[in-house]
Amino acid sequence: MDKLIIEGGHRLEGEIEISGAKNAALPLMASTILAPGKHLLENVANLRDIDTMCELLEELGAKADRSKLDSGKILGIDTTGVQSKRAPYELVKTMRASILALGPLYARFGCAEVSFPGGCAIGARPVDLHLKGLEMLGAKVSVEHGYIYAQKQESHPSEITFDIVTVTGTENVMMAATLTPGKTVLLNCAQEPEVVDLAEYLLKMGAKIKGAGTDRIEITGVETLSPKSHRIMPDRIETGTYLVAGAITGGDLLLRNAHPNDLESVIAKLHEAGVRIEETGQGLRVWRDGKLRGVDVRTAPYPGFPTDMQAQMMALLSLVEGGVSMITETIFENRFLHALELQRMGANIKLEGNRALVTGVKKISGATVMATDLRASASLVLAGLAAENTTEVSRVYHLDRGYERMEEKLNAAGARIRRAKEL
């Protein structure tokens, strides 16, 4: 396993290019199952999770062409040969987003077998709402020996209300409904920009969808869909992470290709804390011109403050000297693991249930810390950039799942990070 060794105290200055969104690429890749043929996805980040989704699609009989992924961010996926309807445990256990194969497999073949995704570090993360959605479209769903079995009994439209706002649940059921006869209405949908990006690709393939990006989505089923090409949206969580990197080091960064309108709640919160952020022709500029202030943060479904930015915000607020901030995590039940590691660096954080009271300190010191999940590892890297002396972040395979060449991008802006093997 790898670790990152970060020499703290360097202001970041210069430019960082934002890559394509992981959480848009994954459902888009799964959606290629719906339309047999050659799909072309552009602006695809080269990440471990993208590799895993390619492996899953190949396991199902598709062909993934990653030959232009590094040079041109282009991923070709040919789903002509998809025969298998089974997403195996070995792959699903490494990436929960594999559940996104369920809806497309069911829609194309009338049956699907997907290993039941276990929990993960940040919570139980059930998929009951995915399964309920398929049942309401006419599937018989059972869970046996750790696998989800969905079998088409009949196929009819439905009005489906999600009890909880679920991003991949909305995506899965929306994909399944594209080939279900009649008009299906989904209520209490996730409104994330990644859901909109997926819907835009489905529309290109010939699906009939209205309302993506709102809490009410209408899908009128069609006979078949045809393969197309699509440019994936920039990664708004990567953008938010580097906005914090600029703020926490007191630097001045230009984030190229960033889409500010996908990130309004994060930008508003950073403004409230005293961070300067400006839209320029090439992207987003972030800098500081004075003391920061403590702010309260409450995560919520889009357009609220994204849970995927909570850990990064905690790192920044830990260093707002004299500032007091209350962070409330409303989406996942165990998403404060990074707080324990930040405390080891000297942060003053009191945890109580789903709330964390952060009292900013003047400085934190480098330490050996351990990453537990994707965004927690980003938070620890951010803290290391600002800490005194050296910070070692272990288990950075978490980071590699969702951040393309993070240390390379940060070092090009003045950071001092090197990757080493953990002994």
Residues 2-41 that bind ligand EPZ (CB under 6 A): 23, 26
Please report whether residue 44 would count as binding ligand EPZ according to CB under 6 A.
Answer: no
CA 157 to chain centre: 30
State the catalytic residues: 120
The pattern of x and - marking residues 333 through 372 that bind ligand EPZ according to CB under 6 A reads: ----------------------------------------
CB of 289 to ligand EPZ, least distance (A): 31
Please report whether residue 331 would count as binding ligand EPZ according to CB under 6 A.
Answer: yes
Instruction: Output 34 or 376, the one with its CB closest to ligand EPZ.
Output: 376
CB of 128 to ligand EPZ, least distance (A): 5
Measured CA to CA, the distance from residue 370 to residue 366 in angstroms comes to 13
Instruction: Output 86 or 96, the one with its CB closest to ligand EPZ.
Output: 96
CB of 222 to ligand EPZ, least distance (A): 25
Binding window for ligand EPZ (CB under 6 A); candidates: 125-133, 221-229, 253-261, 265-273: 125-133
Angle CA 54–119–299, to nearest 5: 95
Measured CA to CA, the distance from residue 151 to residue 153 in angstroms comes to 6
Tallying the residues shown for the chain, one arrives at 423
Binding window for ligand EPZ (CB under 6 A); candidates: 55-63, 145-153, 159-167, 251-259: 159-167
CA-closest candidate to residue 311, choices 349, 273, 279, 278: 349
Of 338, 375, 398, 409, which lies in the binding site for ligand EPZ, with binding defined by CB under 6 A?
A: 375
| Cβ proximity of 166 and 132 under 8 Å | no
Please report whether residue 236 would count as binding ligand EPZ according to CB under 6 A.
Answer: no
Question: Residue 107 in 3-state DSSP?
Answer: helix
Residues 244-303 that bind ligand EPZ (CB under 6 A): none
Measured CA to CA, the distance from residue 120 to residue 94 in angstroms comes to 10
Residues 162-191 that bind ligand EPZ (CB under 6 A): 164, 166-169, 190
Instruction: Output 161 or 411, the one with its CB closest to ligand EPZ.
Output: 161
Question: Residue 401 in 3-state DSSP?
Answer: helix
CA-closest candidate to residue 93, choices 61, 119, 112, 113: 119
Please report whether residue 128 would count as binding ligand EPZ according to CB under 6 A.
Answer: yes
First-to-final CA distance of the chain? 8
CA-closest candidate to residue 368, choices 399, 393, 400, 396: 393
Please report whether residue 307 would count as binding ligand EPZ according to CB under 6 A.
Answer: yes
Measured CA to CA, the distance from residue 4 to residue 362 in angstroms comes to 24
CB of 315 to ligand EPZ, least distance (A): 15
Parallel, antiparallel, or unpaired: how do β-strands 139-144 and 86-87 relate? unpaired
Both tokens of 284, joined, read 């987003």
Residues 105-124 that bind ligand EPZ (CB under 6 A): 123
Of 68, 125, 355, 395, which lies in the binding site for ligand EPZ, with binding defined by CB under 6 A?
A: 125
Taking CA atoms, 125 is separated from 21, 169, 305, 391, in Å, by 21, 11, 19, 31
Instruction: Output 131 or 255, the one with its CB closest to ligand EPZ.
Output: 131
Strand partners, 344: none
Instruction: Output 30 or 349, the one with its CB closest to ligand EPZ.
Output: 30
Instruction: By CB under 6 A, name the binding residues for ligand EPZ.
Output: 23, 26, 96-97, 123, 125-130, 164, 166-169, 190, 307-308, 331-332, 374-375, 402
